[in-house]
Amino acid sequence: MKIVQTFTTPVSLCFLDGQVTFWQENGQDLHVLTSDKDKLRAFSQKHQVPAKAETPSADHSRFIQTKFVALGA
């Protein structure tokens, strides 16, 4: 499964630090989208994940295809 995590600002990337390893160990494909190129580049290199920096706008739909998956019962 591909996971696309988006943040308006990269300050929230710290919340993914432990989660990235979990997702990678369980075969998930993580991609990150946020606004600050330098902080995002550092995060991407640290965790070996694809990342894209974008100027915030009202419409990120051109970058993201959403697939909702029901978890648990």
Q: pLDDT digits over 23-48, tens only? A: 889 998 888 888 777 888 888 888 88
Range of 13-17, 22-26, 35-39, 67-71 with top mean pLDDT = 22-26
Q: Is 73 a domain residue?
A: no
Residue whose C-alpha is closest to residue 29's, from 50, 54, 52, 6 = 50
| Gap between the Cα atoms of 60 and 58, Å rounded | 7
Q: Is 7 a domain residue?
A: yes
pLDDT of residue 55: 67
Q: Is 71 a domain residue?
A: no
Contacts 24+ apart (CB under 8 A), 11-15: 13/39, 13/40, 13/43
Q: Is 62 a domain residue?
A: no
Q: Is 68 a domain residue?
A: no
Q: Is 6 a domain residue?
A: yes
Q: Is 47 a domain residue?
A: yes
Q: How many domains does the chain have?
A: 1
Q: Is 26 a domain residue?
A: yes
Query: 0.75 cut: is pTM over it?
Result: no
Which domain range does residue 40 map to? 2-53
